[in-house]
Amino acid sequence: MAEATVLEQVVLGIVWKRGPCTSYAVCKEFLDSPSSHWSGSAGAVYPLLRRLDQRGLVRATAGRRGHRPSTTYVLTAKGRAALRRWLSPPIDPAAAETTYDPIRTRAYFLGVLTAAKRRAFAEEIEALLEHQVGVVEAECERYRRAGDEFSRLAMRGAVHEVRARLTWIRELKAALKKESS
Amino acid sequence: MAEATVLEQVVLGIVWKRGPCTSYAVCKEFLDSPSSHWSGSAGAVYPLLRRLDQRGLVRATAGRRGHRPSTTYVLTAKGRAALRRWLSPPIDPAAAETTYDPIRTRAYFLGVLTAAKRRAFAEEIEALLEHQVGVVEAECERYRRAGDEFSRLAMRGAVHEVRARLTWIRELKAALKKESS
DNA sequence: CCGCTCATGTAACTGGTTACATGATTTA
DNA sequence: TAAATCATGTAACCAGTTACATGAGCGG
């Protein structure tokens, strides 16, 4: 019901997937992820989980770690319902909009470069993306071995995506070659 | 040299592409774009162009519109150099990282849904993406007719991307069908 | 027992957004 | 001429980041 940011939904999802966990464990999930979309900074996550607790979406349990307090959070029924609502139709149509791609963003302005520099741009990007294919495929394999089938399927999306970008950059290269001839 | 945000680089690119233009024209560029990654809010763009002027990347020319002042900005040589630097190797490798896809983000947590709800999710997303294919292809065609070849090539990237996401969601659908049988 | 990493936070900042105010121009 | 839209901003807010402080446990 209440408005929630995407980060809040994702944290809810992580707490669901992990089971009872601390703020730090949630931070680490972001830190270990190959995406840098969210930094997983403590400054974002610690207050966020306290907020989710106040709204009854997770429940905090006070514990200790040595003499320092340590809080463990578990998903509540209300939290699980919120998570399900986020994943159930109707899905916000904005979710299907074209994603933000920093390479594509640059490509709009390639006209400001000389033809030679444009080709250098395409070469560089091609190399970066070729490397990235390996990264996401490895991540996919990691999930497969971990037996986390839905994460693997999700990561398959990243594989399709990076391959598509690579196909595109090769199309771009071909177009740049043609213009100079 | 100085650090610049991506939005600043993009605005620099827009001023280059459009030639001399007002803050409002830059806002409209964002508003008219099918992507909602940046809102193109006046609150972001107006102060941003003043900042670019202070840094010597654009030059402001005072004008009038009726009795109200109106400022026109043009790209300076320094601004053009900054734009070229942004597009020239070495490119920030983070640009090739997997993009943020709100659908994929959701997909990680599909396990919290019942099998039937998962299939409903996939159906809904498929429909949204099928629609999106048309949107980006139309945009592509618009650029072709406008004779803006680099923007068209950039938008081709969006076409490849949305098609890849569609291929992925169909793969996901197939996997969901198999699990329930 | 020294340094390194794990862990739990807080404080200040920042790059935007939303909402508003208002003048100028066009259109019904 | 009234309403709508174009145009130029400003002010308040906000989600998340960076940087810091500090405690606890562990390996050399």
What DSSP assignment string belongs to B135-161?
HHHHHHHHHHHHT-HHHHHHHHHHHHH
d(CA A14, CA A12): 5
In this prediction, residues B100-104 reach a mean pLDDT of: 98
User: Which residues does nucleic strand D approach, with CB less than 7 A?
Assistant: A 5-8, 38-44, 48, 65-68; B 22-25, 27-28, 41-43, 46-47, 65, 68-71
CA-CA-CA-CA torsion sign (A36, A37, A42, A45):
negative
User: In chain C, which nucleotides are within 7 Å of a protein Cβ?
Assistant: 7-12, 15-20, 23-25
- What Å value separates CA A83 and C1' D7? 42
B109 contact residues in A (CB cutoff 8 A): 13, 16-17, 83, 87, 150
Can you tell me the distance from the alpha carbon of B160 to that of B136, in angstroms, rounded to the nearest whole number?
Answer: 10
Q: What sign results for the dihedral spanned by CA atoms A154, A159, A163, A168?
A: positive
Residues in chain A: 181
Confidence of residue B181 (pLDDT cuts 50, 70, 90): low
State the helix-helix crossing angle for B115-146 and A77-87, rounded to 10 degrees: 40
**Which pLDDT belongs to residue A181?**
63
| pLDDT per position as a tens digit, B37-77 | 999 999 999 999 999 999 999 999 999 887 888 999 999 99
- For A17, name the nearest residue in chain B, comparing CA atoms only: B109
Average pLDDT, integer, range B99-107: 98
Contact A58, A74 (CB under 8 A): yes
Mean pLDDT across B94-107: 97
Using CA atoms, how far residue A129 sits from A10, A105, A126, A155, in Å, is 26, 15, 5, 16
| A100 to B35: CB separation less than 8 angstroms, yes or no | yes
Q: By the 8 A CB rule, do A53 and A45 touch?
A: no
What integer pLDDT is reported at residue A179 of this predicted model?
81
Q: Distance in angstroms, CA of B48 to C1' of D7?
A: 17
Of B95, B153, B168, the CB nearest to A102: B95
Q: What is the mean pLDDT of residues B10-23?
A: 97
CB neighbourhood size of B61 (10 A): 12
Nucleotide nearest to A65 (CA to C1'): D24
pLDDT of residue B65: 85
CA distance B157 to A165: 7
pLDDT for residue B79: 98
State pLDDT tens for residues B168-179: 999 999 999 988
Taking only the tens place, the pLDDT of each residue in B138-147 is: 999 999 999 9
Per-residue pLDDT at B3? 76
In three-state secondary structure terms, A13 is helix
Q: Which nucleotide is nearest to B47 (CA to C1')?
A: D9
> ∠ CA(B171), CA(B177), CA(B181), 5° rounding?
145
Per-residue pLDDT at B2: 54
The answer to whether A100 and B99 are in contact (CB under 8 A) is: yes
pLDDT of B19 > 60? The answer is: yes
Angstroms from B122 CA to nearest CA on chain A: 9
Backbone angles phi, psi at A98, to 5 degrees: -50, 135
Angle at A60 between CA A54 and CA A63, to 5 degrees: 145
Q: For each of chain A's 181 residues, which pLDDT tens digit applies?
A: 457 999 999 999 999 999 999 999 999 999 999 899 999 999 999 999 999 999 999 999 998 887 888 999 999 999 999 999 999 999 999 999 999 999 999 999 999 999 999 999 999 999 999 999 999 999 999 999 999 999 999 999 999 999 999 999 999 999 999 886 6
Phi/psi region, residue A22 (left: phi>0; alpha: psi -120 to 50; beta: rest), is beta
Q: Residue A77: its pLDDT value, please?
A: 98
Digit-coded pLDDT (tens) for A16-58: 999 999 999 999 999 999 899 999 999 999 999 999 999 999 9
Residue B179: per-residue pLDDT? 81
d(CA A142, nearest CA chain B) in Å: 14
Q: Residue A95 and residue B161: Cβ atoms within 8 Å?
A: no
CB B101 within 8 A of CB B93: no
Per the prediction, chain B carries an average pLDDT of 95
Pairing of strands B58-65, A58-65: unpaired
Q: Name the nearest CA neighbour of B97 among A106, A163, A162, A151.
A: A162
Cβ distance of A16 and B163 shorter than 8 Å: no
Per-residue pLDDT at A2: 55
Question: In this complex, do A160 and B171 lie within 8 Å of one another by their Cβ atoms?
Answer: yes
Of B111, B99, B157, which Cα lies nearest the Cα of A136?
B99
Q: What is the pLDDT of residue A68?
A: 84
Nucleotide nearest to A44 (CA to C1'): D16
| Cα-Cα-Cα-Cα dihedral sign, residues B92, B93, B94, B96 | positive
Q: What is the largest CA-CA distance in chain B?
A: 72
* pLDDT for res A64: 87
Q: CB-hemisphere CA count at 13 Å for A180?
A: 12
